[in-house]
Amino acid sequence: MNRSIQLSIPVLDGKNYNRWCAQMRVLYDYHELLGVVENGVADLAENATEAQINTHREMKKKDKKALYFIHQGVNDEVFEKVIGATSSKLAWDILMTSFKGTDRVKKVKLQTLRCQYELLQMEASETVTEYTSQILSLTNQMKIYGEEHTEQAKVEKILRALTPRFGHVVVSIEEAHDLSAMTVDEVSGTLQAHEQRMNEKCISTDEKNT
């Protein structure tokens, strides 16, 4: 039985670079091309052995395959940016600079994301799912720009910025669990369970008062 997986190539339209980049990295990793795209292919030494020549030839094949994926993964307008690129690394770097920005631009974007992350507080009208999704969205964006948050840091941020009605729940979680060993999914699941019980109590109280 043929168990091969056909992965479709995402298309960069100029507005979805972060998503496209993440999906392309997965695609390249699956095809064992990520190293070629990120590091390029080293020049062949003049006195290269036959084994080195064969290895270099295979690396060049991988490079062209990776470049072809980029050609297939951009729309007509974006294609004009990479049409002259002779390697997958060059094309990849061109798109990164065009859509992710220069180092200076990336620093500004990262600083903006940091501010949004630090100031983010759960709104009274938000559900736990909506709030945690915002946290993960911001940390994922910051990761793209080179700043990663540990699972513990994300868990602590979630607990720190909840609305007051979750105060007793936060105390319970902190007393009963080692936060360094908890995942975002675990703390989110615990909070959602408490949220559901609180909502059910509110409904029950409303029904009694009517």
- Whole-angstrom Cα distance, residue 16 to residue 99? 9
pLDDT score at 1: 38
The pTM of the full predicted model, rounded to 2 decimals, is: 0.62
Residue 12's SS3 state is strand
> Which of 122, 123, 124, 129 has the alpha carbon at shortest distance from 196?
129
Given a cut of 60, whether residue 5 has pLDDT beyond it is: no
Q: Residue 108 and residue 105: Cα distance in Å, rounded?
A: 5
Over 70: is that where the pLDDT of 102 sits? no
Summarised one tens digit per residue, pLDDT across range 60-90 is 999 999 999 999 999 999 999 999 999 999 9
What tens digit of pLDDT does each residue of 195-204 get?
Answer: 998 888 776 6
Helix H, strand E, coil C: the string for 60-120 is HHHHHHHHHHHHHCECHHHHHHHCCCCCHHHHHHHHHHHHCCCHHHHHHHHHHHHHHHHHC
User: Which band of pLDDT confidence, cut at 50, 70 and 90, is reported for residue 30?
Assistant: very high
Tokens representing residue 166 in the block: 């979750």
CB 158: neighbour CB atoms within 10 A? 25
Would you place residue 3 in the very low, low, confident or very high pLDDT band (cuts 50, 70, 90)?
Answer: very low
**Which residue(s) pair with 102 in the sheet?**
none
C-alpha distances in Å from residue 104, one per residue of 75, 107, 108, 145, 177: 27, 5, 6, 11, 41
Residues 133-187: tens digit of each pLDDT:
999 999 998 987 889 999 999 999 999 999 999 999 999 999 999 999 999 999 9
- Give the separation between CA 154 and CA 183, rounded to whole angstroms: 9
Q: Output the pLDDT for position 209.
A: 57
Question: What residues pair up with 68 in beta bridges, in sequence order?
Answer: none
Separation of alpha carbons 196 and 127, rounded Å: 10
Checking if the pLDDT of 2 tops 50, the result is no
